[in-house]
Chains A and B, each alone.
Chain A
């Protein structure tokens, strides 16, 4: 499959040329394929947020390129707004961007900027609201009456309504209770499955990444440390721990068990899978045990 988003030697320096210039990204090259669900992890200050704000041209690279469908988004004659409609970016704490009198109008802000017809806007608003689990009767209410979690859903719906080909979310579950967090993430996953939209999800939680993503991009010290399928990345649990990142608890337990000398695979990162492998190992042991008694 073809790469939908690609960066080539992307470097970003904040306040370049000033005494407080800080490099936030250094020579980052990677590609996301259409239809992927990529999790992005890394400790605070590793450059995750800087990286994703390059994808839709909010930040301009200091050097290097960002490509959408193989075309440099900063090439001459490219309309950067088209890029922004194709790559929908949900920032951290997006509920602070709400401004309209009604939820309906707020969700419609993006599609309206795209210059769509009234009917199309209406269809998209209702569809986005349904995806994020906002009841129809909420649409005419003021977004400021809602709870924090509901506000966030409105904000995410505002980006979904643009029906971007790539959806980028910066810690969409930060500060939510476990229930709210599961709800938002599973809605994103469902959206990904049903529409085939490419999703990039920034998260601090390894559990979430393990549960929802197919691929993981690990950022460390402004650079890419790892970029691979989820199982292959979590197979390198010891390296992740060295980077100051955690791994899913199951993976940690398996790492310990392996250190204790048990013959277990090292790429286990979800609970159901862990159960399966343990049962298999047990069966193997028993088979061996029976073999020796014979």
Chain B
């Protein structure tokens, strides 16, 4: 049940997407998000999806995994699509006119456009987390943020907090699973009953989970101190990130394709 959570899950592999410098990947994902929001026509949107699909194929991540990660956000997609569908004004006669509800052609187009955009957004950021292990990812974030250390931002501490938090997600999920099983074995009803019953049923799970999280935090702090951890100052790394030749290839490839996608605005009329 909890194992079905795939957002933020790492999917190991050895493709070019996996091997790309994580700093570059983060920047490219940000660029991709910006691109998604500047696209104003269906051609561009379709192209950006094709590009993403190609990268997913290159990374050898099965479609099933992507669909699974999209499952939890279906309500959000549906919500935005419906809002856009009903509240989008348009020229000409509404296609459907019922009581206060008016659906225009533009509304339908925009609803589809927004839905696809959100899907691309999630799938795009998903590619980053699927192909980059959490530790490497936070490492890259630390490096990218390091200029801000001069301004007094505790970059190393933030990165360490993120690393620890990410590292403990699987542990805590496993722990939750165990506690849930133990309470189920005592007849706890977790997946039936009214909303109030279900919230009540969470208490026997959350209390042991919190206690164990505090205990683990204590133990980890102790273990870190035993190994003389004293923050980021003077700390060297086992794996130093280096920009490889193939990373320049990736930069060029993405610059060209992103540019092409963006340029579609001159070819096709915008949705809005």
Q: Is A bound to B?
A: yes
A interface residue numbers (CB < 8 A to B)? 15, 19, 53, 56, 58, 81, 84-85, 88-91, 94, 96-99, 109-110, 113-114, 144, 158-159, 162
B183 within 8 A of A: yes
| Other-chain contact of B187, A53, A94, A144, A162 (Cβ < 8 Å) | A162
User: B residues near A, CB below 8 A?
Assistant: 3, 62, 175, 178-179, 181-189, 203-205, 207-208, 211-212
The answer to whether B211 touches A53 (Cβ under 8 A) is no
Q: Chain B at the A interface: mostly helix, strand, loop or mixed?
A: helix
Please give, as numbers and ranges, the residues of chain B lying within 8 Å of A158 by CB-CB distance.
Answer: 186
Give the distance to chain A from B5, nearest Cβ to Cβ, in Å: 13
Determine if B181 and A53 form an interchain contact, defined as CB atoms under 8 angstroms apart. yes
Contact A97 B179 (CB under 8 A): yes
- Measured CB to CB, the closest approach of chain B to A60, in angstroms, equals 12
Closest to A97 in B: B182
**Is B179 a contact of A113 with CB atoms below 8 Å?**
no
> What is the bound-complex CA distance between A81 and B187, given in angstroms?
6
Interchain CB contact under 8 A, B185 and A56: yes
Interface residue from B179, B185, B208, B211 paired with A88 (Cβ < 8 Å)? B185
B175: chain A residues at CB < 8 Å are 96
Contact between A58 and B184, CB atoms less than 8 A apart: yes
- A90-B185, A110-B187, A162-B186 given; name 17 further pairs at CB < 8 Å: A15-B3, A81-B187, A81-B189, A88-B185, A91-B178, A91-B181, A97-B182, A97-B204, A99-B203, A99-B204, A109-B186, A109-B188, A110-B186, A113-B187, A114-B187, A144-B211, A159-B185
Distance to closest chain B CB from A24 (angstroms):
14
CB of A157, distance to nearest CB on chain B (Å): 11
A220 to B47, CA, bound (A): 53
Q: Chain B contacts of A15 at CB under 8 A? A: 3
Specify which chain B residues have a CB less than 8 angstroms from the CB of A19 in the assembled complex. 62
Taking the closest CB of chain A, its distance from the CB of B61, in whole angstroms, is 10
User: How distant is B266 from chain A, measured CB to nearest CB, in Å?
Assistant: 43
For the complex of A and B, the 9 pairs showing the least CB-CB separation, nearest first, are A113-B187, A97-B182, A99-B207, A110-B186, A89-B185, A99-B204, A58-B181, A91-B182, A99-B208
Give B203 Cβ to nearest chain A Cβ, in Å: 7
What is the CA–CA distance of A110 and B188 in the complex, to the nearest angstrom?
8
Q: Select which of B189, B207, B212 is within 8 A of A113 by beta carbon.
A: B189
Complex contacts, B203 vs chain A, CB 8 Å? 99
- In angstroms, how far is the closest chain A Cβ from the Cβ of B129? 17
CB distance from A177 to the nearest CB of B (A): 20
Neighbouring A residues of B179 by C-beta, 8 Å: 96-97
Q: Is the CB of B181 within 8 A of A84?
A: no
Contacts of A84 in B (CB 8 A): 184-187
- What are 24 pairs between A and B in contact, CB < 8 Å? A58-B181, A58-B184, A81-B187, A81-B189, A84-B184, A88-B185, A91-B178, A91-B182, A91-B185, A94-B182, A96-B208, A96-B212, A97-B179, A97-B183, A97-B204, A99-B204, A99-B205, A109-B183, A109-B188, A109-B204, A113-B186, A113-B188, A114-B187, A159-B185
Which one of A97, A109, A114, A158 has the highest number of Cβ atoms from chain B below 10 Å of its Cβ?
A97
